[in-house]
Amino acid sequence: MSSTFQTPGAREEQKERNSSNKQEQTSRPQTSSILEKLYSIHKKARAEQAQVQKPEEEQRALVCPHCGSNRIIKNELGQLVCERCGFVLEDRPIDLGPEWRAFTPEEKDARARTGGPLRHVGLTSESLTTKIDLVHKDSSGKELSLKQKLEIIKFRKWQQRIRIQTSHERNTLQALNELNRLASQLNIPKTVVDEALAIYMKVLEQGLVKGRSIEAIVAACLHMACRKHGIPRALDEIAQYTKASRKEIARCFRLIARELGIRLPLADPKMYVPRICEQLKLSGEIMREAMRILDEAKKRGLTAGKDPAGLAAAAVYIASLLKGEIRTQKEVAMAAQVTEVTVRNRYKELAKELNIKIPIK
């Protein structure tokens, strides 16, 4: 058996070698991660450089028709110029950007002169002609004489007569006034009003207004626009603010949908829940519970062929009983604009089919 003898100096050298090997092993992962970071930075810089050089390469691909050189540059005026002979390949290029400069988002918002789309007015003469004011003063604020006042009154009268010349314009103006009145009373946004006006213009072009009430046609168009945008406005609610009856509005609604080929989505009962809960001053917990009841009823096919407002009212009534915030059937029916009989029938049907145990109080 052979044994080796090491001097103290050799032992120290061996320890130093072992420690250096350990340091190298620990430093290898660190160096590899640093190299990966450097490689990713270099790759990103190469990609940015390629994007910058791409327009230059496209310009170099152009050939000068005068000397045949492909050394095309872009000067400070934006012109494409041949670097060899000075021939201008493209003069006065169109700048599609703004004429102003902005260095911060605040400056950009302050200097921008664009905005939202223009609203559909519906009448060309309404949007282009001027209107003579009722104030009898000139541009400097001085009161007009009696003779000038009489002339202005006469001008205003004739201006109102000639502004609307055809029966089409008179009909549209009357419908627009009725539509704005209904929208203000029902608190309907402008986008829905524009949609209803566009539908009415199509109805007028098809000649469906003849022999029918303008109020009924306008109410039907408004209800159709509300259905399109998902705003809960029932026919009964719209009929309260117009002279036409609910039956007449429904008949016009079916006529417009059939003749214009408009396919509307089915009314979702959940759209009526927030409005009912808000009018009854109920909490968000009641709203969530009513939504859950309606989802379960929809899965089982209980909502088909039922009035969405009545289903929403019944779901809110059941949720209020389950959570302890009790409201009477009369209060719920008034908030949903349905009858108490509808709430009672839908409430019993949902409770029976969904196996909901109503607490007796």
Structure-model confidence comparison of residues 79 and 286, the more confident one: 286
Q: Is the pTM of this model over 0.85?
A: no
pLDDT at 27 over 60: no
Structure-model confidence comparison of residues 186 and 127, the more confident one: 186
Q: How many CB atoms lie within 10 A of CB 173?
A: 16
Please state the separation of Cα 272 from the chain's center in Å: 20
pLDDT digits (tens, 9 = 90+) for 234-285: 888 899 899 889 899 999 999 999 998 888 877 788 888 888 888 888 888 8
Give 30's pLDDT tier (boundaries 50, 70, 90).
Answer: low
pLDDT at 53 over 80: no
Contacts of 331 (CB under 8 A, 6+ apart): 280
- For residue 217, the one-letter residue type is I
Q: Write the DSSP symbol of residue 90.
A: E
Contact 229, 262 (CB under 8 A): no
Q: Edge-to-edge strand order for the sheet containing 88-90?
A: 72-74, 80-82, 88-90
The whole-number average pLDDT for the span 63-74 is 85
pLDDT at 221 over 70: yes
pLDDT digits (tens, 9 = 90+) for 84-132: 888 888 876 676 677 777 888 888 777 777 665 555 554 444 455 567 7
Q: Which SS3 state, helix, strand or coil, does residue 118 take?
A: coil
Q: Report the chain's mean pLDDT, rounded to a whole number.
A: 80
End-to-end Cα spacing for the chain: 100
Residue 237 pLDDT: 86
CATH numbers and ranges of domains, the chain = 48-90 (2.20.25.10), 168-260 (1.10.472.10), 269-353 (1.10.472.10)
pLDDT at 19 over 70: no
The whole-number average pLDDT for the span 176-195 is 90
Residue 224 pLDDT: 92
Lowest mean pLDDT among 73-87, 116-130, 167-181, 335-349: 116-130
Contact 312, 270 (CB under 8 A): yes
Sign for the CA dihedral angle at 207, 121, 172, 214 comes to positive
